Structure 1
Amino acid sequence: MILTSAPTPSLLLAIAAALAYGVAAACHASASPHPPRMALLLAWLLHGLSIVLELWTTEPRFGFGPALSVTAWLALTVYGIEYHLLPRLQPHWWLALCAALAALLGALFPGQPLQGQHSPWMGAHLALGIASYCLFAIAVVHGWMMQRAEKRMRAGTAAEETGLPLLSLENLTFRFAQAGFVLLTATLLAGLFFGEEVYGRAWSWRHKEVFSVLAWLSFAGLLLARWRHGLRGKKAVRLLNIGALLLLLAYAGSRFVIEVLMR
C-alpha cells in the first residue's frame, strides 16, 4: 500500500465518493427515488474528480488500483446512460458498492509513475485498454442480468419484474462484447507493432501479454460461436466470464502482484 503521512486530496475525494456510493446503495429502497439518485450523482462526480486529480499531476501514476477505479467509473457512466435510454432497465445498486471499492483501491494503490521517456502514445494505449475493460465489464453485468431474467421467466415471474426482455438483454450483452473485442484487438495490435514507442520495449510473452491473448481467444471463440452456431444462454455467459477473468488478470492482476505482493 502506498500512503503518505497526510491524506492526499484524491484520497479524501475517493473516501467521500465511497461514502456517497454507500448512501446511495443503502437508500435505494426509500419511498422517493430522488435521495439515492442524488447521492449516486454526487458519488459519481467525486469519484471522477479523484481520478482526475490522481492522473493529472506532475508525476502521474498508474497501476491496478487506478485501472479498476477508472473502469468502474466508466462502467457506471455507461450504465447510467443506458438506464435513461431504456426506462425498463432496472437499477442494480450493488454496482454502487463495487464502484465504492474501486474508488478506494484507486486512491490507496496509485501504482507506479509513468516514466517521462515513454511515448505520448502510451495514453492512447492505456485508454484503449481501459475502454475495453469497461465494455467487457458492462457485458458481464448484462450477462448476469440475462441469466437472472431467464431464471425468473422459467419460474413464471411477471415480465415487468425482470426489467428488459430476455432477448433485449442478450442483444445488449453481445453488442458490448463485440465493441470490447474491437478495442481489445486494437490494444493488442498497438502493443505488438508499437511496443517500443509505447513502453520502450518490444513485444514479449510475459504474464500480461499471455493473459491478454488468452482473453482475446476466449472472446473471439465466443463471438465466432455466436455467429456460426447461435451460441447463447449459460454457455455463452460462462465463456464471457472466463474471458473477462483472463483480461482482469492480464493487467490488473499482474500489476497487483508487482505493486502489492512483491513489495
Structure 2
Amino acid sequence: MILAIPSPLGVALGIAAAAAYGATAAASSWLGRPSTQSMLGLAWLLHASLLAWSLAGADPRFGFAPALSVTAWLVTTVYAIESRLYPQLQVRRVLAGLGAAAVLLALAFPGTPLHVAASPWLPLHLALGIASYGLFGAAVIHAWIMTRAEKQIRLAAEPQAGVPLLTMERLTFRFVTAGFVLLSATLLAGLLFSEQLYGPHARGWKWDHKTVFSVLAWISFAVLLIGRARFGWRGRTARRVLYAGAALLLLAYVGSRFVLEVVLGRGAA
C-alpha cells in the first residue's frame, strides 16, 4: 500500500500482474472455473509480490493509485476466501478487470513520499483505512451482484450469481459492518493521535476535504446499519445508501489525493 518509485523489478511485476489479470478477464468466458481460478490466483500472487516488493523500498510513498491497487488486491483476497465457501459465485471477470486497471494505474501514478516527520505508526493507520476500503469494496461488489440477479429474475432468466439472494444480502452487511468498525477506528485514531501520526505540523482535527468526506461516509454507513437493524432496510433502499457511502469514502482519500497529485501536482502527505 505504500509504494516506492517503481524499480525495474517492480515495473516487471506490475506488468506481469496486469497481464495475468487481463488474461483471466479475457479467458473467463470460455475456460472452465478451475482454469480461471488458477489464472486469477496467479495474478493475485503477482500482485501480492508487487506490493511486498514495494513495501521494501527505502522511501515510503502513498497516493490515490496505490490505495486503489491495494483495495483491488484486498477485494480479490476476499473473493478467493469466499469462493471456497460459495463456489457458485461468478465475479472473476469483473475482479480481474479491476485488478488489471488498478495495477497499471499504480505504475503510472506511484504516489508521493510521506512527510519526513510522520510517525512509524502512520503506515498502520493508513492500513486500517485501506482495509476499510477493501471491505466496503467487497460489499459494493456483492450489492452489484444482487442487483444483476434481481434483474435476471424479473426477466424470468436464471440468475448467474449462483448464491441465494438472502445469503448475498447477509454477506454484504457483514462486510459493511466490518468496514464500518475499521473506518471508525481510523477516524478515531486520526482525531486523537493526529500529531503523533503525522508529526508536529499536524495539530488537532483538520476539517479538510478528506476529513469532511470521510465523516459523511461514516454517517452514511451508520445510517445504513441503523436502518437495517431498526427498520429492516434491504433491497434497493439499502443498496442506494451503500453506494452513496462508498462514493463519499472514495472521494475522501482517493479523490482528494487525485486532485493533489494529478490536478494540482502537489505531494502533500
TM tier relative to shorter chain: over 0.9
For residues 18 and 51 of structure 1, the distance between their equivalents in structure 2, rounded to whole angstroms, comes to 13
Taking structure 1 as the reference length, the TM-score comes to 0.93
How many residue pairs get aligned? The number is 259
In the alignment, what sits opposite 2:173?
Answer: 174
In the alignment, what sits opposite 2:263?
Answer: 261
In the alignment, what sits opposite 2:87?
Answer: 87
For residues 105 and 46 of structure 2, the distance between their equivalents in structure 1, rounded to whole angstroms, comes to 15
4+ residue runs over 6 A deviation: none
**1:106: how far off?**
1.5
For residues 92 and 48 of structure 2, the distance between their equivalents in structure 1, rounded to whole angstroms, comes to 20
For residues 156 and 32 of structure 1, the distance between their equivalents in structure 2, rounded to whole angstroms, comes to 25
Q: Which runs of 5+ in 2 are unaligned?
A: none
Q: Answer yes or no: is the 8 Å Cα contact 1:185–1:216 preserved in 2.
A: yes
In the alignment, what sits opposite 2:69?
Answer: 69
Counterpart of 2:179, as a letter, is G
Q: Answer yes or no: is the 8 Å Cα contact 1:54–1:107 preserved in 2.
A: no
1:119-150 C-alpha deviation (Å, 9 max, x unpaired): 12112111110000000000000011111222
Which deviates more from structure 2 when the two are superposed, residues 134-143 or residues 103-112? 103-112
The change in CA–CA distance for 1:222 and 1:45 in structure 2 (over 3 A counts) is same
Which deviates more from structure 2 when the two are superposed, residues 145-154 or residues 96-105? 145-154
**1:221: how far off?**
0.7
1:34-57 C-alpha deviation (Å, 9 max, x unpaired): 443332222111111111222221
For residues 122 and 71 of structure 2, the distance between their equivalents in structure 1, rounded to whole angstroms, comes to 17
For residues 31 and 263 of structure 2, the distance between their equivalents in structure 1, rounded to whole angstroms, comes to 45
Q: CA RMSD in A?
A: 1.8
**1:10: how far off?**
1.3
**1:205: how far off?**
0.1
**1:29: how far off?**
2.2
**1:187: how far off?**
0.3
Q: Answer yes or no: is the 8 Å Cα contact 1:21–1:96 preserved in 2.
A: yes
Q: Which runs of 5+ in 1 are unaligned?
A: none
**1:31: how far off?**
4.5
